[in-house]
Amino acid sequence: MPLDEYRRKRDFTRSPEPAGDDRDAAGAGETRYFCVQKHLASHLHYDLRLEHGGVLLSWAVPKGPSLDSRDKRLAMQVEDHPIEYGDFEGVIPDGYGAGVVMLWDYGTWTPESADVDAALRKGDFKFRLDGYKLKGSWALVRTKGYGDSSKPSWLLIKHRDDWSGPIDITEFAPLSVKTPGADLADILAADTPAIWKDNPPAKTGDTGTLFQRIIATALELRERQHADAPTRLMSSARAKAKLEAIDDAPPRRATAKSPTAKKTTKTAAKATAKKTATKRAATTRGR
Ligand code: MN
């Protein structure tokens, strides 16, 4: 089964990553999905994934894609991933790939070779991307040796076209396309930023430094959210005061005929005040 290796490496009771369904391949001419996930794990890398044969063919690109056609970026082919993985963004707390995953780009792709499987076997595979950040014509060319890796290594190369140029796209557009404006630290802050405080997935070198920075930023973001909390409490206290004032006020219909009618008016007023309080809290949270 194509996803065996993917599943063998992961414990889905501990990881938020999808286990995936085995599914039929997209037919010729059907739109195929592609994505690039920025993955801070033992090393920062970018995972390029192209839908083919009912799975996402996957390459880990340590330096990320380059729009400069003179750059040849090493791309290590890794195990096929389930289609559902394609919009995953989040925190892998431990185990295989432990770290932060950001959906850095996604869109559709079309093969430029008539027979994709033949092109992959040959190790010379041309395709077009239509994402937010990556567009136009690209090639994956397999290298002779495997280098230091046990996985086949390829080179990811941008063809010269309207979408190529001397832009470091990973620097120019570093953020998530799934959560607008979110950096790795924001993704961690939305989860449990304290998990790696003492034991991050990488401790030394550039990656260790990057982890330290992202964990610190995520904890700071969390603290700031806590600092905002009194504002929320105040507004709910004000709402409560208002609610009590309504309770003390004489019922609008002074001639309420039965205690039930009076009660209904009060309950309705309470409900309205509660709604206002909820709304106000939501607005504060949104800031
Ligand atoms: Mn990865």
Question: From the CA of 15, how far away is ligand 1's center (Å)?
Answer: 14
Question: From the CA of 69, how far away is ligand 1's center (Å)?
Answer: 24
pLDDT of 217 > 70? The answer is: yes
Q: What average pLDDT does this structure show over 245-271?
A: 45
Question: From the CA of 163, how far away is ligand 1's center (Å)?
Answer: 25
pTM summary value: 0.75
- Say if residue 158 is exposed, middle or buried (CB neighbours under 10 Å; 0-12, 13-18, 19+): buried
Question: From the CA of 46, how far away is ligand 1's center (Å)?
Answer: 7
pLDDT of residue 227: 80
Residue 120 to residue 112: CA distance in whole angstroms: 12
Question: From the CA of 117, how far away is ligand 1's center (Å)?
Answer: 23
125 and 137 Cβ atoms separated by less than 8 Å: no
72 and 156 Cβ atoms separated by less than 8 Å: yes
Residue 151 to residue 58: CA distance in whole angstroms: 11
155 and 74 Cβ atoms separated by less than 8 Å: yes
Question: From the CA of 106, how far away is ligand 1's center (Å)?
Answer: 15
Strand partners, 142: 154
Name the token pair of 231.
């504002």
pLDDT of residue 179: 96
The pLDDT tens digits for 132-187 are 999 999 999 999 765 555 678 999 999 999 999 999 999 999 999 999 999 999 99
Question: From the CA of 185, how far away is ligand 1's center (Å)?
Answer: 17
Residue 39 to residue 98: CA distance in whole angstroms: 9
**CA 26, 31, 33 angle in degrees (round to 5)?**
85
- Say if residue 47 is exposed, middle or buried (CB neighbours under 10 Å; 0-12, 13-18, 19+): buried
Question: From the CA of 227, how far away is ligand 1's center (Å)?
Answer: 35
Question: From the CA of 58, how far away is ligand 1's center (Å)?
Answer: 9
Question: From the CA of 45, how far away is ligand 1's center (Å)?
Answer: 7
pLDDT of residue 207: 96
Question: From the CA of 190, how far away is ligand 1's center (Å)?
Answer: 20
Question: From the CA of 97, how far away is ligand 1's center (Å)?
Answer: 6
Measuring CA to CA, how many Å separate 239 from each of 89, 184, 229, 245?
Answer: 37, 37, 15, 10
142 and 123 Cβ atoms separated by less than 8 Å: yes
Residue 189 to residue 224: CA distance in whole angstroms: 11
Question: From the CA of 176, how far away is ligand 1's center (Å)?
Answer: 16
Name the token pair of 161.
């076209």
The pLDDT tens digits for 95-145 are 999 999 999 999 999 999 889 999 999 999 999 999 999 999 999 999 976
- Say if residue 101 is exposed, middle or buried (CB neighbours under 10 Å; 0-12, 13-18, 19+): buried
Question: From the CA of 39, how far away is ligand 1's center (Å)?
Answer: 5
Residue 285 to residue 287: CA distance in whole angstroms: 6
pLDDT of residue 283: 43
Residue 129 to residue 160: CA distance in whole angstroms: 14
The domain limits of the chain are 4-248, 259-287
CA 211 to chain centre: 17
Residue 265 dihedral angles phi and psi, to the nearest 5°: -60, -45
Name the token pair of 155.
């080179």
Question: From the CA of 172, how far away is ligand 1's center (Å)?
Answer: 21
CA dihedral sign, ordered 134, 135, 139, 140: positive
- Position 47, amino acid: D
